[in-house]
Structure 1
Amino acid sequence: MTTFLHPGRHHVAVLVRHGVMPMELGLVHQMFGQTRSAEGDPLYKVITCALSTGEIRTDADFPIYVAHGPETLREADTVIVLATHEEDETQTEGRLSSSLAAAFAAIRPGTRIASICTGAFVLAAAGLLDGRRATTHWKSSQNFRELFPQVELDPDVLYTDEGDVLTSAGEASGIDLCLHMIRCDHGSAIANDVARSTIVPPHRDGGQAQYIRTPVPEPESSSTGKARAWALERLDQPLTLDDLAAHAAMSVRTLTRRFREEVGLTPVQWLTQQRLERARQLLESTDLPIDRIAVIAGFGTGTSLRQHLRAALGVSPSAYRSTFRGPAAHKKHGPRTADQHGAANL
């Protein structure tokens, strides 16, 4: 991890465009703006700039006034590019507008550049992510891959750090990214103080994957549709390839081939995906113990559920439940389970 420290206050330039999301703009000013040294001195100077000064539309029902133009980027130690819901960068065909290209050309070599949400499209179009690892909002990941195959996209993480170029996923993951940069610049103690002041965790477990809703698909009029519908009603039971093949009236080999053609997964992968989705629904909506959810979802044991959830989402069942249902849900079970004691967090 590269540390970016300069004499005096570190200048952070926040580049906004029409359609900026107020939350993204606010969180950058909040996180960096309240960072203080042990003596109480501000460590960052945050300046909002645009491609031209004046009123900038937001995606809310109010505009903002930006007094600084792209010349601000020349003096920045860190440049943060925010997303926009109006000038959809996901539809730019991978090219910067002339005004954006001119603005990026003004950035000094060695400046740290970061993006929040789909602002990563701008960094990729500028060629800053070629051959590097990056992330963006999971809803835009497929479009990003198609536009920028030369970028190593990781849609599951909250942020990436390639030294002088960093990217984050959705709006709220901008908080994680800002804390990470503060931590790299000034250490964990100062970053933790900022997190406490903002009442957010200094570090969130897991990644973006746990926030992606993978719906249980309705069976389609396809050759495997009948078998899938049958399986969805029996996820709690041991299901074999022979069982699925029998209900699809085809051989196991043909079933596997048709599953790949119609669903994009093997039958085993599809079953695991549906069982994970069932477990996620139960973790979010019920107070059932982890072991009971594992049985209902078809994993058999709490250990198996923990292993599969950790592999797919990067978190334990109890951590997932705390995120989407709240810690109060655990108190209704009475004695703490092994998962709550941390035995599952392996």
Structure 2
Amino acid sequence: MATLPWDQIQAAPKVVLHDHLDGGLRPATVLELSNAIGHDLPANDAESLGQWFRDSATSGSLERYLETFVHTIAVMQSAENLTRVAREFAEDLVADGVVYAEVRWAPENHLQGGLSLDAAIAAVAAGFAEVEAGGRIVVRQLLTAMRQFARAREIAELAVFWRDKGVAGFDIAGPEAGYPPTRFLDAFDYLAGENLRFTIHAGEAFGLPSIWEAVHPCGADRLGHGVRIVDDITVAADGSVELGRLAAYVRDRRIPLELCPTSNVQTGAVGSIGEHPFGLLASLGFRVTINTDNRLMSDTSMTKESYLLAEAFGYGWGDLERFAVNAMKSAFLPYDERVELIHRVKDGYAALRG
């Protein structure tokens, strides 16, 4: 089966649920804003800087990978810069054919310039709103609390305060090992009491215990990555498949998996796109969704992720439509708004199929 054409995939309506704001800046913007504030960078032109981000993210060194975010976060410490970054982020999504996006970021990382948490959230909302006004995309924030710090309840309360004002939900991110999601049960209980949905980074670097905790004591609506659920699936030599209890529960409950193929290859979670569990999980009926994670560090886009998966697993338009609808069904939007966007997605794929 021939791979779907890149330009047509780019034109197809796409939905992204797992995309980090501080991982999606334009290299030229990082360079310009760094020069303005006197922040030193490892390269002096946009092309070389973009290459440095990509090389650092695939170096195999966690220290070097984390350094990439030091540089992006450094230029996101003022309201003006946050608004610009958010605006450009959404503009790039529109250019890539994305019609709905949930963009996650940790406001607590953006206070070094004197901003309050509320002011930082308002600045990002303003940038997204500028692009949303064009009617081509709907963008919502997911407020992230960092696992290694102790502000999860505070960020959860902010997410509730800002609901219906650009914020759709809550997330926790950061190192999984040593920082289990149950450390933040108070925040998750509070969110449940307020009827606000949340996703949890789980099952990326760490295995099944991380996923179990996210699903059961914490009650996550979605799994950020969740790729290690494959560890609870046995494929026999004859091709027969047996699901463990946790994998069966995740599939039966239709808990969405925010899979990020290129990022998983970079971090060593899988060896290649062709070896990615996406293909197996999709064939078994898990609610899989396609995501980018960090577009700058992974040198990727929704078009690229979709193209690589189509190439690896022989997907056609019907498959890409299914994955986009999966994501839209799983979005933290009110039901009627989700349905409207699902129709938009379906109409877009119908036009591509002729």
> So what's the TM-score if we normalise by structure 1?
0.28
| Max Rg structure | 1
Higher helix share: 2
